[in-house]
Amino acid sequence: MNEAIDRLRLARAEGVGPVTWQRLIRRFGSATEAVRAWPEMARSAGRPVPAIPSPDAAGREIAALAELGGRFLFAGDPDYPPLLALADPPPPALAVLGDPAALAGRAVALVGARNASLNGQRIAEQMAEALAAEGLIVVSGLARGVDTAAHEGALRAGRTVAVVASGLDMPYPPQNAALQARIAEQGAVVSEAPLGAAPQDRHFPRRNRIIAGLSLGVVVVEAAPRSGTLITARMALDLGRELFAVPGSPLDPRCRGSNALIREGAHLVQTAAEVLEDLPEAPREAPLFAPRMTVEKPARSAPESHPPDNIGSQIIEIIGASPVAVDDLVRRCHLSPAAVAAALLDLELAGRIETLPGNRVALIAP
């Protein structure tokens, strides 16, 4: 239990995102050791000691989630969703209501406009019902419009997963509270946000990434240009997932984004059968960087567990003003990946570099 509490503390700590969380655990072998060492690392780097929740606070959140009937899944756990584990990097901590096994099934995401037309909602509902009847898990975001229709259709024939941007005790939108409860009974509801958190704009891209990451493919039904639905579509492509879109009237602005996806190469589909024709058994294309995490503590005698004193300055010189792939840094520094990773973590905690998608790093402008 102590390790679970410390994993949650690290995930909720100030300034810790998925990349830093993963690197800290890799470097120190466990969250407990990372939480113990991190304040001193920050002081050594000349930075303020970051705010880390107390063990009691993290324990209360775990207990409160348990009272709701839920539990946490942490990246690296055996029961962490296998497709989401391929993300770069996976979300550190997922709060789950319902059956965690629903997150490991063969799944399709079905997403679209909140202000969807009646026809769009009908298509989403019918397609979701047909996909669920074939044994697939239907994943969506519990929003109004297409998401709600997809969940309702799937519940009639099988299981569905809702990924939400608020705490699991704060159903959003409020009118979908009863639907969220039904989904938890027949499938699962997932959130990366802490209990009590109201949805904020910055939460939705993270929610959309989880929707894409849980699914073998994403089906878009009605999406305006520059919509959150198109963000989910882009994330699906980044993760190597199949992309489908239902065509709509060119006169309807709600369909311009989804029609554009078809022009750009998404599968044009109108029925669940057409989705199944091109749905792979596994992602067709692996992400650029998708390691399986390990939380085993490394042997004390492991070579280069701490980088040479000058490796940080070497890395700063190599990066320059443009992002650089970590693999290139390893080759050019002539050091082990472990030594480079440790140095990058020190530089990130010192506020000198930032981590970018695709396992790249870049200098932070002074």
pLDDT in tens, 8-56: 999 999 878 888 898 888 888 999 999 998 778 777 766 777 789 999 9
Residue 287 is assigned to a structural domain of this protein: no
Last residue of a domain, one of 46, 67, 88: 67
Give the percent of the chain with pLDDT over 90: 63
CB 347 within 8 A of CB 303: no
Are residues 144 and 223 both part of a single domain?
yes
Lowest-pLDDT choice from 67-71, 207-211, 337-341: 337-341
Are residues 259 and 206 both part of a single domain?
yes
CB 287 within 8 A of CB 258: no
Residue 293 is assigned to a structural domain of this protein: no
Closest CA to 224 of 112, 141, 119: 112
Residue 81 is assigned to a structural domain of this protein: no
Number of domains making up the chain: 3
For residue 107 the two structure tokens come to 């799944």
Residue 292 has pLDDT above 70, yes or no: no
Are residues 155 and 232 both part of a single domain?
yes
Residue 130 has pLDDT above 60, yes or no: yes
Mean pLDDT on 217-231? 93
What pLDDT, on a 0 to 100 scale, did the predictor assign at position 364? 75
C-alpha–C-alpha distance, residues 15 and 8, integer Å: 14
Q: 């207990």: which residue's tokens?
A: 63
Residue 183 is assigned to a structural domain of this protein: no
C-alpha–C-alpha distance, residues 242 and 179, integer Å: 28
C-alpha–C-alpha distance, residues 270 and 265, integer Å: 15
Closest CA to 121 of 111, 136, 130: 111
Are residues 151 and 223 both part of a single domain?
yes
Mean pLDDT on 124-140? 98
Residue 90 is assigned to a structural domain of this protein: no
Are residues 232 and 315 both part of a single domain?
no
β-sheet bridge partners, residue 97: 70, 189
Give the DSSP H or E segment for 161: strand 160-164
Tens digits of residue pLDDT in 95-109: 999 999 999 999 999
Residue 348 is assigned to a structural domain of this protein: yes
Are residues 269 and 323 both part of a single domain?
no
Are residues 115 and 226 both part of a single domain?
yes
Q: What is the pTM of this model?
A: 0.80
Residue 57 is assigned to a structural domain of this protein: yes
Are residues 235 and 130 both part of a single domain?
yes
Last residue of a domain, one of 51, 67, 83: 67
Considering the chain, what is the average pLDDT of its residues? 86
Give the DSSP H or E segment for 262: helix 256-263
**For the residues of 27-89, what is the DSSP string, one character each?**
HHSSHHHHHHHHHHHHHHTT-PPPP---HHHHHHHHHHHHHTTEEEEETT-TTS-TTGGGSSS
Can you give the CATH number for the domain in which 328 is found? 1.10.10.10
Residue 194 has pLDDT above 80, yes or no: yes
CB 340 within 8 A of CB 315: yes
Are residues 139 and 239 both part of a single domain?
yes
Are residues 14 and 143 both part of a single domain?
no
Are residues 219 and 338 both part of a single domain?
no
The residue segments making up the domain with residue 114 are 101-163+200-278
Can you give the CATH number for the domain in which 259 is found? 3.40.50.450
Are residues 135 and 219 both part of a single domain?
yes
Residue 301 is assigned to a structural domain of this protein: no
Q: What's the pLDDT band for 165 if we cut at 50, 70, 90?
A: very high
